[in-house]
Chains A and B, each alone.
Chain A
């Protein structure tokens, strides 16, 4: 009773521009770029895993297993603090090189999402019957052309709902960059909460925003899924 009685909606209202124009913009940018990068590298890893060169497949398989057995938040943290020193060692510079928090977290997320997306794309490629690449080959298309024009577009379309669902998970996971004190949406809400001493309001509001966006996106994915099912 007292908690709700003390509820200060005005704190939220005043923080809205900061929360959305700074925080949410960062969160959405990171989500979009990480999803795109993850899809590109994930597709390459999937092709490596399905390659007839066994050693390529083994390297890709090791990478995926390795990434999947690490806690994401730990890697975000370590990557941010270690990369400047690795960079220094590689370039032979006299001081640790500077890598921005955004670049560092983006690279970490792409590395992680590539592993997850690669498994999705692998399933997608395997869902295409062998007759399709055979028909493409029979027409004279090279392996690369057959992948680009025949197999991957179909695999991507079949997997689109799963890829988007994974992207919604990614959208939530980007809040882990709080360990680098980056003002993403949650980080921004947290900053306001600490500054104004309004922890309950800000964290409840942040939870509500993540919930609504994820829910609406999931609903959209389900609609899309049923539409794809009809086309096929």
Chain B
């Protein structure tokens, strides 16, 4: 589903954020990407739907080459859901209108259909009663669940999560992770940048460990948590798992 081949990316002329990254996510697979801050994991996931351009290598999404100038990027992006660290709900629109906007403007759905779809998804994430509210009236955890519903409203073929729980208060993390776990169990193809190793342990098929722009480890979950092969991954795990 997602093929990342020898991807290189620079910020400016000298700083290389991604160094020859190669990996893939198969249909129905859940892949967790972890690593210290500044390791390039968020950048990598943003390259998958071309929110960030790449300077070398190839990314293919469901057979479509992302970094081909001829690719219709808006159309491609509409088929992949993305959830951001800071939710990025549209603050001037009510919750239901957040869910309707792209359905109507991008997919051309009728207003009634978009509303019905939106309400169904809000019900699914447990926020049906908040449809008429504005994003600022919701807690962080609720906003992130709305953001997931907004992405799902587009019937995506895969979901990208960029540190979806990093900006949340601790007591709100699990309500978001629960939604993600359900999604994973339903067979959604997911690429998740996160430090939540509990989540990785529960539903991930593979874990990718990145450091300084490189994919240091790309292993089956059991192998990764059993005995990480690299020192850097071991050190990282011991740091985040000791609490």
| Cβ contacts under 8 Å, B9 to chain A | none
Report the Cα distance A116→B165, complex, angstroms. Answer: 42
Query: Is there an interface contact between A140 and B90, defined as CB atoms closer than 8 Å?
Result: no
Does A141 touch B at the CB level, under 8 Å? Answer: yes
| Cβ contacts under 8 Å, B75 to chain A | 140
Report the Cα distance A82→B80, complex, angstroms. Answer: 57
Most buried by B among A129, A134, A153: A134
Query: Is there an interface contact between B102 and A141, defined as CB atoms closer than 8 Å?
Result: yes
Query: Is there an interface contact between A134 and B106, defined as CB atoms closer than 8 Å?
Result: no
- B85 and chain A: residue at smallest CB distance: A131
Query: Is there an interface contact between A141 and B88, defined as CB atoms closer than 8 Å?
Result: no
| Cβ contacts under 8 Å, A132 to chain B | 88, 90
Contact partner, B77, options A138, A149, A153, Cβ 8 Å: A138
Does B136 touch A at the CB level, under 8 Å? Answer: yes
Query: Is there an interface contact between A139 and B150, defined as CB atoms closer than 8 Å?
Result: yes
Query: Is there an interface contact between A134 and B91, defined as CB atoms closer than 8 Å?
Result: no
Is the contact region of chain A dominated by helix, strand, or loop, or is it mixed?
Answer: helix
Q: With contacts A149-B101, A149-B105, A232-B136 known, is A138 near B82, CB below 8 A? A: yes
Shortest beta-carbon distance, B11 to chain A, in Å? 14
Does B49 touch A at the CB level, under 8 Å? Answer: yes
Contact partner, A131, options B88, B105, B151, B154, Cβ 8 Å: B88
| Cβ contacts under 8 Å, B78 to chain A | 139-140
Does A127 touch B at the CB level, under 8 Å? Answer: no
Does A137 touch B at the CB level, under 8 Å? Answer: yes
- A140 and chain B: residue at smallest CB distance: B78
Contact partner, B74, options A142, A149, A157, Cβ 8 Å: A142
Q: Which of A93-149 contact B (CB under 8 A)?
A: 129, 131-132, 134-142, 145, 149
Query: Is there an interface contact between A137 and B77, defined as CB atoms closer than 8 Å?
Result: yes
Q: Which of A149-208 contact B (CB under 8 A)?
A: 149-150, 153-154, 157
| Cβ contacts under 8 Å, A232 to chain B | 91, 136
Query: Is there an interface contact between A135 and B88, defined as CB atoms closer than 8 Å?
Result: yes
Query: Is there an interface contact between A137 and B84, defined as CB atoms closer than 8 Å?
Result: no
| Cβ contacts under 8 Å, A142 to chain B | 74
- B136 and chain A: residue at smallest CB distance: A232
Report the Cα distance A131→B89, complex, angstroms. Answer: 9
Most buried by A among B80, B106, B151, B154: B106
Report the Cα distance A157→B136, complex, angstroms. Answer: 15
| Cβ contacts under 8 Å, B89 to chain A | 135
Contact partner, A138, options B49, B101, B134, B136, Cβ 8 Å: B49
Q: With contacts A132-B88, A150-B90, A232-B136 known, is A139 near B77, CB below 8 A? A: yes
6 shortest A-B CB distances, which residue pairs?
A140-B78, A135-B88, A139-B102, A138-B82, A140-B106, A131-B88
A→B interface (CB under 8 Å): 129, 131-132, 134-142, 145, 149-150, 153-154, 157, 231-232
